Amino acid sequence: MQLDHYVTLGHSGLRVSPMCLGAMTFGEDLGWGSSVEESVRIMDRFIELGGNFIDTANLYTKSHSEKIIGDHLGRHPARRDRLVLATKFSANLYPGDPNGGGSGRKSIISACENSLRRLQTDYIDLYWLHNWDVHTPIEETMAALDALVRSGKVRYVGVSDTPAWKIAQANMLAQFRGWSAFIGLQIEYSLLERTVEQDLVPLALEFGLGITPWSPLKSGALSGKYTRTNAGSQARSRGPFLEPFLNERTYALLDVMADIAGAHDTTVARVALAWVAGRPGVASTIIGARRLEQLEDNLGALGVTLAPGEVARLDALTTPVFGFPGSMQPMFPAIHNGGTTVNGVHAPASGFGLVEGEKPY
């Protein structure tokens, strides 16, 4: 696959590149990240190679990320129109203002207007609910988003970092009201974060939401930079997001990933990205880069196709432990199928069923 081999996002006609450029690192306002000049080089190279999907948020680098994108692309309408610009709302940038964030109508409309101004555009291609606001009825949020779509200021809406049951409620509500529904699901997903496979991934498959994984390298733990041999000697800028995962379980996984990378003459990071890209429901994987070289290296994952046996090795090392009711799922075929095979799934008949000659009461 190449960067210009586009896919439709979920159950929609929106065409996006198989990798999405994450702009959380654009700007140095938080003491880390890419300079304006480096951010521009990264965008230009991504677009040059065929990438058309750029993701940011009003929160990123105190909103500077949006401004960097707008300053560079907003002056060129023809260039901007060829891109799918995605940004997010929910974050409060204004201390002391309770309506400065969240998912209420007042906050959403204000956040949208400010993002349009910073991005120097009159429409947002994909507007994400960044995270669930427990204080706002989902009806209010979906109605406000639909109004933005009808006004032409937003083309599509998506959802990030929200429980599966709430997303299902939102999309069913939108369906029955004739409102715009979520077409994309942005979730953390990697070999070290697979708990999303209990509810969120099945939700995406059932509702036709295109998955766009974030942190596919688990804050760098799967980048290949950290190994058992250099443990403790590498600078770790991501602290609590990284430290808990630099342990023997991760190092054992990295050993297998290094073995697979060697067989493909590639890197550990590319193996991690190729695994995520191959998961059911994944449409476009979000990659972040502080330097142009990191972008080039990550995009190399598009040329890596893992063999079924290699995927099985990685899956076996990272199989998540599900809570209830997912933990009961393996026993259901025996209860449901009566000893037959259904859609390729077979299990012996449950001991609670009738034996030959018995009649039900």
Model confidence pLDDT, tens digit, residues 291-335: 999 999 999 999 999 999 999 999 999 999 999 999 999 999 999
Predicted pLDDT of residue 74: 86
To which residue do tokens 């036709």 refer? 208
C-beta of residue 274 within 8 angstroms of C-beta of residue 308: no
C-beta of residue 25 within 8 angstroms of C-beta of residue 56: no
Predicted pLDDT of residue 232: 66
Clarify whether 361 is annotated catalytic.
Answer: no
- C-alpha–C-alpha distance, residues 168 and 164, integer Å: 6
82-116 as b/e: b if 16+ CB within 10 A: ebbbbbbbbbbeeeeeeeebbbbeebbbbbbeebb
pLDDT band of residue 238 (cuts 50, 70, 90) is: low
Phi-psi domain of 179 (left: phi exceeds 0; alpha: psi -120 through 50; beta: other): beta
pTM to 2 decimal places: 0.93
pLDDT at 227 over 90: no
pLDDT at 237 over 60: no
Predicted pLDDT of residue 233: 60
- C-alpha–C-alpha distance, residues 63 and 41, integer Å: 19
Predicted pLDDT of residue 131: 96
Q: Is residue 60 helix, strand or coil?
A: helix
Instruction: Find the catalytic residue in 60, 123, 156, 189.
Output: 60
pLDDT at 116 over 70: yes
- The mean pLDDT of 95-113, rounded to a whole number, is 97
Sign of dihedral through CA atoms 300, 221, 189, 328? positive
3.40.309.10, 3.20.20.100, 3.90.190.10, 3.40.50.300: CATH of 7-321: 3.20.20.100
C-beta of residue 192 within 8 angstroms of C-beta of residue 318: yes
Least confident of 48-62, 114-128, 232-246: 232-246
Predicted pLDDT of residue 20: 98
- Every domain of the chain with CATH number 3.20.20.100 lies at 7-321
Mean pLDDT of the chain: 94
